[in-house]
Amino acid sequence: MEAKVFELAEMLGGKVEGDGNIVLNTICKIEEGKPNGLSFLSNPKYLHYIYDTNAGAVLVNADMIFDKPIKATIIRVPNAYNAFTSILELAQLAMHKSGVEQPCFIDATASVSSSGVYIGAFAYIGSKAKIGNNVKIYPHAFIGDNVQIGDNTIVYSGVKIYYDCRIGSNVIIHASTVIGSDGFGHAPQPDGSYKKIPQIGNVIIEDDVEIGSNCSIDRATFGSTIIRKGVRLDNLIQIAHNVEIGENTAIASQTGVSGSTKIGKQCKVGGQVGFIGHISVADGSQIGAQSGVHHEIEMPNKEWFGSPIMGKRDAFRISKLIAKLPELFEDVKEIKKKN
């Protein structure tokens, strides 16, 4: 991606202070600035870097004030963070490929759009699959029979999407994630063995979802496992059968959600959280890292922490008390001696 400073400013609705004709062809951190690089500054913590940066241009908030001269060209925008995100999106689009590489396999009954699609080498697209406009399927991805993928979705290398699953538009699925593998359904038998319960449902991923690498989202026993619009899943997350994740919920790495649990909208879940099955979690819940969710959460917009979870304030209070237990134990020993 290459553009002059004034061109970027016009696109972002910004105002240039300095040389608007500098040609920018890379993106860089403000502390690692390059003469033809674009950087940004929104956090005052990094303000000191702007006075010495070698970046060609820096995006800043419109109301940012400087108390020393700056050699870099400044682009003032309403929100520097959002503007820089828009630039990164454009740079990413420029990196994406189009066309069909060989060797790959596309079943004769599959429907693949001719508009902007990329199919990488060694990708597999199964019977009656439907691939929308501008979809990018990277090498070694597997798209099973009857899978549907909406417009502008990106499926990175090594992703496996099993049969009958539905993927929306503007979805990003990172490398080696598996969608639609069997749920963990095994019925104990009198002799101590297990009988596998057939998993005949599917997975539905709605629009604008991003899923990190090495996640596993199991198909439903029957019906659907559902990831609602706008959800963000980090790397290394396990979503079990018949789970439902509500709109715009974000879940950090190494979290596991057991079967048939329903997590509400706008929730935030820290890393390594465990959910038992068959519970509901209220909208707006915030759950701290390494918590164990062992019961229903009915009250919305509340912070939780601990294993088992409790209100965040109570959990922190108990944690402080636990640290004092050795001292209290010694006090009790002294009291017993005196008695």
Catalytic center residues: 241
> Measured between alpha carbons, how far is 52 from 8 in angstroms, rounded to an integer?
22
Phi, psi of 330 (to 5 degrees): -65, -40
> Measured between alpha carbons, how far is 98 from 311 in angstroms, rounded to an integer?
50
Of 63, 65, 58, nearest to 87 (Cα)? 58
> Measured between alpha carbons, how far is 24 from 8 in angstroms, rounded to an integer?
9
- Other C-beta atoms lying within 10 Å of the C-beta of residue 277: 14
Of 167, 163, 260, nearest to 221 (Cα)? 260
> Measured between alpha carbons, how far is 47 from 49 in angstroms, rounded to an integer?
5
DSSP 50: G
